[in-house]
A and B are shown apart, each in its own frame.
Chain A
Amino acid sequence: MLIAPREAYAQTLVELGTENKDIVVLDADVAKASMTVLFQEKFPDRFFDLGISESDLICTGAGFAVAGKLPFVNAYANFLLGNGWEQIRLSICYANKNVKIIGHNIGASSGKDGPTHFSLEDIALMRVLPRMTVVEPADGLEMKKAVRAIAEHVGPVYLRVGREATPVVTQAEDEFELGKANIVRQGRDLTIVACGVMVAKAVAAAEELTAAGIEAEIINMHTIKPLDRDTLLQSVQKTGAVVTAEEHSVIGGLGSAVAEFLACSRPVPLRIIGSPDKFGICGTYEQIHQAFGLTAERIAQAAKEVLEQKKP
């Protein structure tokens, strides 16, 4: 089954809009792409299109929060966080305002729109900010739970929302708690830590590895910050080797967060799978993932590399 994360996000937002009258939704002229238009149709009074002005959007959201509202501010991740970063730092994080920042078209999900519209640096930009919670659900099903969880959480949150339909790998009955990673698959030989669409690719890689007699444990690290260190450490103490996978630059994202922690707590062989330190190209979503090496094959190959490295 395939679900577009943005569709799951917008549908859940509409559900929440009925339940919580304090929710307001702000967008920057991308309401059709972000699908917040669904909220607009249902609750026109609580929807505000501020036009193409992301800095203004962020601070207007902060103003709503001052007045006790629960704002969800939406735009393409790259433009929202790039234009609005200092605003997020000061008026949301330093001021400690309860604003939900929703980055759309994350990773390479803008596809043929190309590198100007990709967002491969956004985790790094948000993860460095004190008080910020950073979330990227594994699939559309988990997105629905995540949207509810961030609405409940009091404090700044950044949520990554992809555009393309992606495989559903989580189960309806799986629990979702911010900051508490889910173990998708148990294994003894190495730990694969993934977020977003890369969780599905990790599952595919693990199946490939099983055929080679390698049992990978997969952690769905849906909350990149705060990182669930306990779950990670427990797994790594068992396996002694790690591969991380994310639809984000190899610099500053999930892989960096894992490496920062493990380098200090339990150094083990590690590979970081993500987009390389260069700009992308135009292409279909799948073509770009191939070009960046965001594939099950690359994860499996990295798994074999760390296993080789951990041999005594």
Chain B
Amino acid sequence: MIPEDFTTSLYTCENVEKFPNMGVLKKSVFEFIKTIGKNLIKKGFIINEESKRITFYINPIGIVSIDYKLNYIPQDKVILLSFYPRGSGKGLDPKNWRRDYNFNVALRVLEFCDSLGDTINVSVEEYGEVNFNRVYLNEYLNIRKWRVSLFGEQEVALDYVLNNRKLIYNLLLNHSKERIYTFVLFSHIFHETNIDRETRKNAQEAIEILKQELQKFGDVDGVYDSINFKYVLETYSKKNDTIVIFIETEDVIGSMYKNFKKYLDVNRIPSQFISIETILEKFRKWPGVRLNFLLELFNKINESKPLFLKPIPYLYEIDGVLCLSDIKDASIKSLQKLFGALFMYTEPGIYEEVHIYEDIPYNIQQGQIVFENEDGIRRLVEYVYQLGGEDTVTMDIFLTRPWKKKHLNQFITQLMKVGYKVNRVYYLSTVRSRFVDETLLNNLLRNSSAEYRIPSKVRYELDDYWHYYYIVSNKVAFIRTSTQLRIYPNLFNLFVYLLWPESGSLSKADLEKILWFTKKRLYRFQEFFVTKYPEPIWIFKNLRKLYLGEVDERIRIPLRLMI
């Protein structure tokens, strides 16, 4: 049965001959909202003329803002208008919103758009009318039967893997016997004398639970004091079968990660950071969390992954994906402008690296990467050639920020000259255009008493394996990569912009490819339906959590350590 259309908070205006001034258009949209102000006020939305903001109150968050973004896609003559919730500064910060909070907030944004109607006619001064139409979602990709390779031996459907947690755990247990793993545990809190009895007891209990689990898979050494980790690790040979695990309280683990991770990764030491709270609260209660932890560990050890999502047919036209990104680390003010590159192959078992370059001069102008000179582009091509690791490679490119058109073309031309073939270039973003939609809420409604007007006949048809998408135009599309709601970022879809080839147009195949790179993170077993970012993008996002410090030569990190 084909599901009904699902509402969104996205509007589009097509066939725009001339783009109106962005500031003026934004004001005009607000003016339109004001015209139906009475209706909105009745429904509890507040329109503040002074600050030009729309807000609403919701318990227990407090005041939430409904913001809107306008995006113009010149090649396709399309304007996107998207409404989305954000923190107002007078309520709970979105990063602390729980699942039900997010759910209720999204419902309110959709109610707001219901009040606006399916068509918005905005009058723009000295321009005329701009007509926006609301977007409905009705097309999806079903990934339920995507194939998964288990330890390279068996091949089963994705839903079978996700429904057979015990089988995966037992396979992991059996395969761990083929090698001798050493888990080296570190914890500062365990050695800290000046802490309360409760914290000490929790730390001891958590470490004991973890030890008991890890002893099934290999030898366990420690617990050593985290502060001495460099000194202790010198006594271990740097072979891949040693894994370092840090166990600290939730508030310490973040800063420890920032400070230690670079050293560990650059020295190619697989490491995992886990909080005492996670072990105590989730390890026993949620066996999926325990499996998640173990799968992440074993993914970091070597190139052969316990679970590998088999490439879908569309991926056969490429050898892998090159992801390029400007880099911002965890420092408040970055010391240098760093540039990152990684190459991810579609086939398993190949060694992959993330490189961070300090000698590619660039600037960010109006949200675009602009290289300072052609030497920078040439050097980047040379580096990519080394990173690709072969004489001929066919690739897609993922960019975390758009590049100046001229520079992108130069880069591609030079890559082609060295024998590399570029298939497609995508700019992927989770913030460029944000909107909420009914499909995500529908899943939650199954177990919820919340009242909403999703037709009951489709309510149970929806499935976590269905990824709704919307192709706006030749160049722009959206895809819902996370199909379960957990945290604030889950609310939004992934924005896909085809930057190259100029004559190309987006199709379902492009979105399926991008979705594959998102869902290949099968090691996030417990969070599989929540994973949102394609793996290459996720790795650069992860880099932002580290202190990179002063970089005076290229940093090379095995990609598997950065997951």
Note whether A and B form a binding pair: no
On A, residues with C-beta under 8 Å from B are none
On B, residues with C-beta under 8 Å from A are none
